[in-house]
Structure 1
Amino acid sequence: MKTIKAEHHNIATVLSFALIPLSGFATDVYLPSLPAMATSLHVNNAAIQLSLLVFMVSAGISQLFVGSLLDSFGRYRLSNLALLAFALSNFVTALYPDIYVLYGMRIIQGVTVALIVVAKRAYFMDTFSGEKLKHYTSLFSIIWATAPIVAPFIGGYLQASFGWESNFWFMGGFTLLILLLTLIYGGESIKQLHAFEVKAIVNVYGSMLKTKDYSLSLMIIGLNYGMLMVFGMASPFIIEHVYHASPVITGYSALMSGVALMTGGIISKAIIAKPLIKKITVAIGLQLAVALIMIACSTVYLGLYVMMGFVILLHLIAGFIFNNMFSYSLGRFSRNAGIVSGLTGGGLYVITSFFSYGTVSILAVKSQVLLGMAYLVLVLMSVWMFAWFRKASVHIVKEESVVKAAA
C-alpha cells in the first residue's frame, strides 16, 4: 500500500484542498451555458436545469454510502479510479451532444465526485486532530466557495469563445492533471481500515440521523446552499433573456455571488469562537429582513444591479451560516470519519437538490420578483429548522452559558 511520504505531505494537503470544490465546479462551470445548451440540444429550460438536479441527487445519495467504502477499502485507489472515470465522462459529454447522454454522464459524474470529495475530506480527519483539524474543517466551505467564484467566470468566457462543449473538455483536462499529480505525490492516508459490515454501518448511520441537532443542522446547511443553487438555475435565464446580457455577464454575476458566499465563510472563521446559537440567530434574522426588502423593492426597482445587490447580501449571510453549521456537523462525531463526511456531504446535496429544484419549478422563477420569493421560501424554512435546532441543542446553550459566565 502506497503511503504519503513525509516530504510530500504539504503537496498532498494542497491537492486535497484543490478537489474539495470539485462538486461545485462540476455544476457551476456550465451555468452560463444553460440557455445555449437548451437551444443546442432542442429542449426547454426545465429539461436542461434537470441536469443539475440529476448530478446533485446522484452525488448526494452516493455520498451516503461511499464513506463506509472508503473507511473499509481506503481512500487512495478508489479516489484515483473515480478521478479517471470523472474525466472520461466529461469527454463523452462533449463528444456526444444529446440530452440523455448528458443525463447519463451527469449521474456518473455525481457518483465519482462523491467518492473524490468524501475521500479528500476524510484525508484531513485521518491526518490532523484537535485545533488543527478544526482550523482545516472551518476552511472547507471557504475553499468550496471558490467553485461558484472561479467556475462560472471561466465558463462564461469558454461559452462565449468556444461553445458549451468546451466547459466539459476543460473539466476533463483539469481532472486528469490533478490525477497525475496525485499519483506522484499522494498516497493512502487512513491508518486503520474498518471491516465492511453492512449491519454495523447501518447502525452508525441510524445513530447519527437520530441525533436531532445533527439532522437539523443538515437541513439548515442544505437550505442555505439551496439559495446558491436557486440562483444558479434561474439567473442565466433572467440575465440573458430578461436583461438581454451575455453569458460573460452571467459568469461575472455568478462570480460576485461566489465571492459573497466566500466572504461569509471568512467572517464566520474570524469569529469562530463566538457563541454559535447567538450568531446564527442574528444571521437568520438579517437574512429574513433582506429577503423581504428584496421582494418589496423588486415591485418598484427592477434591474440587474438591484437584483445582484440583494443576491450578494443574501449569499454572504448564507455563506456565514453554512460555514458555522457545516463545521458543527462535521465535528459532531469524531469516529468513522469517512461515514460522517459522506453523510454530511450527501445529506447536504439531497436536501439542496430537493428544495432548490422544487422551489424553482413550483414558482417558475423567471424574474427578479420571483427570485426574491424563492429566497424568502428557503429563509422561512431555515428559520423553522433553526427554531427546532435550538431546542435540540440544549447542550450547546449550556456550554455557551458556562463560557459567558467564566468570561
Structure 2
Amino acid sequence: MKKQSLEFLHISTLLAFILIPLGGLTTDIYIPSLPAMAGKLNVDIQAVQLTLLLFMVSSGASQLFIGSILDSFGRYRINIGALIVFSAASFIIASVPNIYSIYAMRIIQGITVSLIIVGKRAFFVDMFSGEKLKNYTSLFSIVFATAPIVAPFLGGYLQTHWGWEANFYLLGSLAIIVLFFELKYTGESLQKTKAFNWKNIKDVYKTMLGTPDFTLGLVIVGLSYSQLVIYGMVSPFIIEKKYGFSALVTGYSSLSSGVALMIGGIISKIMLKKTLISKLFPAIILSSVIVVLMMFFTAGHENIWMLLGFTLPIHILSGFVFNNVYAYCLQRFTQSAGTASGLTGGGIYIISSAMGYGLIHLFDIRTTHFFSFINAIIVFLLIIAIYVFSKISKRSK
C-alpha cells in the first residue's frame, strides 16, 4: 500500500465515492443529446440508443469476470491504466464523429469503467468491516444517484451551447483530473492477493451463482435499475419530439429522476435497522398502485407533468428497493469482495440493459400512456422476484 495513513484512507475513500457513479455519468450525461446525435450523425434513433446498450453490455459482461482479476492483481495499477484508456476513448468519441467509431469506443469505455468501479466498490470491503462497512455500502446508491442528478442537467446545458461532443470532452477531462489525485495521494488497498487460479475462480463463481438469494438479489436490483434505464432511453424522444420541449428540459426531467433515486436511497438508509423483507413488500405494493394509476390517468390525456408526476414516485421506490438489495448482495461474500462486487455490478447492467433495450425494441414507446405499461411489466416481475426471494431468505436462515 502506498500510504498507510489517515490521509490515504480519507482521500482514497473520497475518490472511491467520486468514481462509483462513473458508469451512470458516462451514460446519463449525453441522454439529452440523443435526438441531436441522431440528426448530426445522420442515423436513426435506434442506432444512437445502441451506443447506450453497447456500453452497458460491455460494462456488465466485463464486471462478471473483472472481480477475480482485481482480487488476484490488486486494485491500484489496474485503476490507473483504466482511467488513462477511458479518457482517451472519450476524446476519440468527441473528435471522430462516426457512429461505428463511437460504438467501438463505447465498448472500450464500458470495460474500463468496470475495472474502475468494481475496484472502488471492493475498496470499501478491503478497508472497513462490521457496521462501518454496512454504513458505507448503504451509501452506494445515494452516491450512485448523483450521476442521474447532475449528468443530464449538465449534458442538456452542454448540448444547448456546444453540442453533443462537449459531453465526451468533459468526461475525458474529468478522468485526467481524478487520475492526478489517484497518482499523488492513493495506493493499493488490497492487503493480500489471491493466486490467479482458474479452478479456484471457477469454484468461487459457482458458489456465488449457486446461492439462490444472491442470484435473485441480482435479478431484483437489475429489474429496479431497468426502470431508470428505460426512462433515460425514451424520455428524450417523448419530451422533445412529442411534447416539443428542448434538450435542457430533458436534462431537468432526468435530474428530477436522479433526485428521486437518491431520495429512495436516503429513505432506505434511514430504515437501515429494519429487516430487508419487511421493507421490500410495502415498496413493491406501493409501486403497483402508482403504476395502475398511471395507466388509468394517462389513457385519455397526457403531458410532461403526468410523465414526471408518476415516474418520480416510481423511481423513489425503485431507488429504495435497489439500495437495500444492492447492499445485501455486496456483503453476501466478503471473503471475495472483488468478485462479489463484479457479479453484482455486472448483473445490474446486463439485466437492466437486456430488459431496457428488449422492451424498447419490442414495443414502440412514444407516449407516456404506453410507457406506463412498460413500468407495469417490470413491477409485475419484481413482485414475483421479491416473493421468491423472501421464501428463499427464510429457508437460508
Matches of residues 41-56 of structure 1 in structure 2 within 5 Å? 41-56=41-56
Matches of residues 5-404 of structure 1 in structure 2 within 5 Å? 5-395=5-395
State the alpha-carbon separation in 2 of the partners of residues 278 and 9 from structure 1. 35
State the alpha-carbon separation in 2 of the partners of residues 284 and 182 from structure 1. 40
1:405 matched residue in structure 2: none
Q: What are the superposed Cα offsets for residues 277-296 of structure 1, whole Å, 9 maximum, x if unpaired?
A: 12100100011111111011
Is the Cα–Cα contact under 8 Å of residues 290 and 314 in structure 2 kept in the other structure? yes
- Which portions of structure 1, spanning 4 or more consecutive aligned residues, are displaced by more than 4 angstroms? none
Shift of 1:276: 1.2
Is the Cα–Cα contact under 8 Å of residues 60 and 347 in structure 1 kept in the other structure? yes
Shift of 1:4: 5.0
| Matched letter for residue 268 of structure 1 | S
| Matched letter for residue 281 of structure 1 | F
Between the two proteins, the alignment pairs up a number of residues equal to: 397
Specify every segment of 5 or more residues in structure 2 that has no aligned partner in the other structure, as ranges: none
Shift of 1:8: 2.9
Shift of 1:332: 1.2
State the alpha-carbon separation in 1 of the partners of residues 84 and 256 from structure 2. 31
Is the Cα–Cα contact under 8 Å of residues 69 and 196 in structure 1 kept in the other structure? yes
Is the Cα–Cα contact under 8 Å of residues 268 and 323 in structure 1 kept in the other structure? yes
Is the Cα–Cα contact under 8 Å of residues 155 and 167 in structure 1 kept in the other structure? yes
Percentage identity across aligned positions? 49
Could you say what secondary structure the match of 1:322 adopts? helix
TM-score by length of 2: 0.98
Shift of 1:275: 1.9
1:401 matched residue in structure 2: none
Shift of 1:266: 0.1
TM-score by length of 1: 0.96
Shift of 1:155: 0.2
| Matched letter for residue 9 of structure 1 | L
Q: What are the superposed Cα offsets for residues 361-407 of structure 1, whole Å, 9 maximum, x if unpaired?
A: 111111111111111111111111112111211157x6xxxxxxxxx
Q: What's the Cα RMSD here?
A: 1.0
| Matched letter for residue 267 of structure 2 | I
Is the Cα–Cα contact under 8 Å of residues 4 and 187 in structure 1 kept in the other structure? no
State the alpha-carbon separation in 2 of the partners of residues 11 and 149 from structure 1. 23
Q: Which deviates the most, 270-279 or 107-116?
A: 270-279
Q: What are the superposed Cα offsets for residues 46-96 of structure 1, whole Å, 9 maximum, x if unpaired?
A: 111111110000000110111111111110000110001000000000000
State the alpha-carbon separation in 2 of the partners of residues 223 and 41 from structure 1. 32
Is the Cα–Cα contact under 8 Å of residues 261 and 318 in structure 2 kept in the other structure? yes
Could you say what secondary structure the match of 2:228 adopts? helix
State the alpha-carbon separation in 1 of the partners of residues 124 and 176 from structure 2. 22
